[in-house]
Amino acid sequence: MTQRENLLALLRRQPYEFVPAEFMLCPSLIEDYRREENQPEMPYEDYFQLPWRRVGDLVPDDTDLTRFEKYHEGRLNERVTIDEWGVGHESTPTSMHMTKMLFPLGDAEDVQDILDYPLPTYSLKNNADLKERVQALHKRGIASVGNMQCTIWETSWYIRGMENLMMDMMTDEEMAAALLDRVAAMSTQRALLYANAGCDILFLGDDIGMQRSIMMSRELYNQWIQPRLKKLIAQVKAVRPDIIVFYHSCGFIEPLIDDLIDAGIDVLNPIQSECMDFGEIYAKYHDRLVFHGTIGTQTVMPFGTPEDVRAEVWKNLDIAKEGGLFVAPTHLLEPEVPWQNIRAYVQACRDYPLHR
């Protein structure tokens, strides 16, 4: 099997031939990779034979970001960049790859402010080569991913501010509905572009969990977020029934898993080991979900030994003896992760006997 064939078989609960490895490196770890593996040119994804690639970000119809500057009046300086949704990101000399977020609609006072906000639109206008990019990956034997892990909730609060949006959801429903509806429509445009281009996987997500609790009540989630996510997924699967929908949320989200299944997700990421017990989650949901992740990036990856990493990988694969686990670190690997632990993770995947 190619990497693509093997991964898609795993995700569809069909027989597969080997355990694939997958991870993302922060900038400093990419430098470690180049030094430790003596690979100044080859991308680490190729070197470690990772089974999928993002097909690339979509380009909005209007690329002129100066239209957002008035929403950051008095806050712009050489350390601030503005993204395509108009959100400001301010770096500091010690922030590495992290930034402070600046909310363009943090001071919005009424629904007209929401309706007037110049959200981007997405079409084939600036993405005419999207299908070619997907096909190029498939020709290499690599699965294609349309990545939009900030989908509805996160994108909305990045624009409005989390506290503001939470208050809107409870005290000003017209404001909340206006923003969430507009962002959901924008995200549906993006998702349909990826689906129609032939992507194997659509990677959605919104962080809805914290370390020990869900971020909002289940009632609020099912009032505001879940129906919009469900509608988006239904529209995508109407044009591509076989697309595999991943959903990402960090933290403790067990009370919302049934709602995510009802929304139409196929694979849940990352089953953060510091927040949820994979054995319990697998026993309860494995007949309805596939899982991706489970190897802690707050614990074993940065602070364990290579032997600890190997043991954790094999333990979780043993739990998932009926299949349905794409085992991987639960998030971006940060600077404190020792390089030998990354090697140990990859080797553990390669060594695991599927018929143990």
Complete domains list, the chain, with CATH: 3-61+107-351 (3.20.20.210)
Chain-centre distance of CA 267, in angstroms?
A: 11
Instruction: Indicate if the alpha-carbon torsion angle 37, 38, 40, 46 is positive or negative.
Output: negative
* Contact indicator for 220, 237 with CB cutoff of 8 Å: no
* Contact indicator for 156, 108 with CB cutoff of 8 Å: no
Count how many Cα atoms sit within 13 Å of the Cα of residue 177 in the half-sphere of its side chain: 5
250 burial level (CB within 10 Å; 0-12, 13-18, 19+): buried
> Per-residue pLDDT for the chain (356 aa), expressed as one digit of tens each?
999 999 999 999 999 999 999 999 999 999 999 999 999 999 999 999 999 999 999 999 999 999 999 999 999 999 999 999 999 999 987 777 788 999 999 999 999 999 999 999 999 999 999 999 999 999 999 999 999 999 999 999 999 999 999 999 999 999 999 999 999 999 999 999 999 999 999 999 999 999 999 999 999 999 999 999 999 999 999 999 999 999 999 999 999 999 999 999 999 999 999 999 999 999 999 999 999 999 999 999 999 999 999 999 999 999 999 999 999 999 999 999 999 999 999 999 999 998 76
Q: Among candidates 295, 350, 290, which has minimal Cα distance to 320?
A: 290
CB atoms within 10 A of CB 234: 11
* Contact indicator for 50, 329 with CB cutoff of 8 Å: no
pTM of the model: 0.95
Cβ burial 85-120 (10 Å sphere, 16+ → b, else e): bbbbbbeeeeeeeebebbbbbeebeebebbeebebb
Distance, in Å, from the CA atom of 93 to the CA atom of 210, rounded to the nearest integer, reads 28
